[in-house]
Each structure stands twice: as structure tokens, then as C-alpha cells.
């Protein structure tokens, strides 16, 4: 069937890309296919093979790279995940901040996504976001406003590996009473 991927319609490609039982050969063919949306669905597939994952990582840009990290496709190889997170942050963080700040949270701090058919999905996200990325996220708070700003602050406080120093800074500098109290509560928990 993998030899027929090039003849498939977009909806057929998407159906296979979403299916976690799709064979590695078909996943590789979809990863090499020109139809971007099918590749994006493949990045979200829990059954993604390492070979297809590596082909998707080599695609230019940050969207697929971010999705591969957000959906935990590097969580079994912490060193590679650390290197890829560093690469993504160093090369694309400014662009992500300008174009899609919600993606910063999804990739580096994990997150949730609401699907149209009615349920929430928890992203695995990065297992261990490096401290220099956490500092960068903290410094980017002032570049955001409204929902994006408060959401980033909340995710920084919630994230399992946020350094204590950042939580102290948030508890001291946050103007939102609810978030400041949340930071103080988190600070008490990690200090206990």
C-alpha cells in the first residue's frame, strides 16, 4: 500500500496520518509527500515511527519541529530532546513569539488542545525544558499582552521544571493578584 501513497487524495492521506496503527513504510511516504497538512497530522500521531519523525524534523520551519516535541516524540531520548529544544529556541523563538505565542507554551511548557469533536487532549510537551529556555520565556512575558501574557505566566508557574528563581520573580513582579497567589502557593510547595 505504501507505493500508492503518491496517488491518494488529501482526505485519504489525512486518515492514514491520524491512524496510530499505520505502518512505518506508509508513515515515511506521508512524511516525504508534498501535502503539508497530512504531515502535520502525522506529527501528532502517537504511533509515529522514529524514521518518519526524523524525516519530519528535517522539514524547514518550526511548526512540525515544535509539534514533534509537544507530542512527546523525543521524550524517550532526553539528550536528543534537549538538543532539539535548544535548536528550536535559538533559531525560531523570536518568530514564534511574533506569529504564534501560544505555540511557545505548547512546545516548551506542554499544554492542552481542544479538538472539534469535543474533548481536551494533554500534550506531553518537553520532559526537561533547559533553564536558558525557561529564562527566555520569562523575559518574553513583557512582549506579550492580554490572554497570551497571563497564560504564559500561569504555564510557567505550573510547569514541573520551572526553576525556583523564576517563580520567585513571578511572585514578586506579577500584577495579577490571582497569578501572584498561585506563584506564592507553588513556591511554598517546592520549598517544603
Residue written as grid cell 507530542? 71
How far is 129 from 112, CA to CA, in rounded Å? 17
| Chain segment 122-174, per-residue pLDDT in tens | 666 666 789 999 999 999 999 999 999 999 999 999 888 899 999 999 999 99
pLDDT at position 2 is 76
Q: pLDDT-based confidence at 116, cuts 50/70/90?
A: very low
Domain boundaries, the chain: 1-55
| Chain segment 49-99, per-residue pLDDT in tens | 999 999 999 999 999 999 999 888 998 888 888 999 999 999 999 999 999
How far is 37 from 12, CA to CA, in rounded Å? 12
Task: Quickly count: other Cβ atoms within 10 Å of residue 157's Cβ.
Answer: 22
* 3-class secondary-structure state, position 3: helix
Indicate the pTM of the whole model: 0.86
pLDDT at position 121 is 60
What element of type H or E holds 153?
Answer: helix 146-158
Amino acid at each position: 500500500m505504501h507505493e500508492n501513497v503518491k496517488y491518494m487524495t488529501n482526505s485519504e492521506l489525512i486518515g492514514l496520518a491520524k491512524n496510530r496503527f499505520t505502518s512505518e513504510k506508509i508513515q515515511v511516504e506521508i512524511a516525504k509527500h508534498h501535502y503539508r497538512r497530512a504531515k502535520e497530522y502525522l506529527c501528532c500521531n502517537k504511533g509515529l515511527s522514529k524514521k518518519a519523525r526524523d524525516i519530519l524534523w528535517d522539514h524547514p520551519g518550526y511548526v512540525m519541529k515544535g509539534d514533534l516535541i509537544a507530542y512527546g516524540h523525543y521524550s524517550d531520548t532526553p539528550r536528543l530532546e534537549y538538543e532539539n529544544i535548544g535548536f528550536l529556541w535559538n533559531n525560531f523563538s523570536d518568530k514564534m513569539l511574533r506569529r504564534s505565542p501560544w505555540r511557545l507554551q505548547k512546545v516548551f511548557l506542554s499544554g492542552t488542545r481542544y479538538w472539534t469533536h469535543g474533548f481536551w487532549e494533554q500534550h506531553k510537551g518537553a520532559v526537561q525544558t533547559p533553564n536558558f529556555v525557561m529564562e527566555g520565556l520569562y523575559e518574553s512575558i513583557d512582549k506579550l499582552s492580554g490572554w497570551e501574557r497571563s497564560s504564559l505566566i500561569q504555564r510557567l508557574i505550573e510547569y514541573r521544571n520551572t526553576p525556583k528563581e523564576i517563580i520567585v520573580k513571578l511572585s514578586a513582579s506579577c500584577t495579577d493578584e490571582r497569578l501572584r497567589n498561585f506563584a506564592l502557593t507553588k513556591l511554598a510547595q517546592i520549598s517544603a
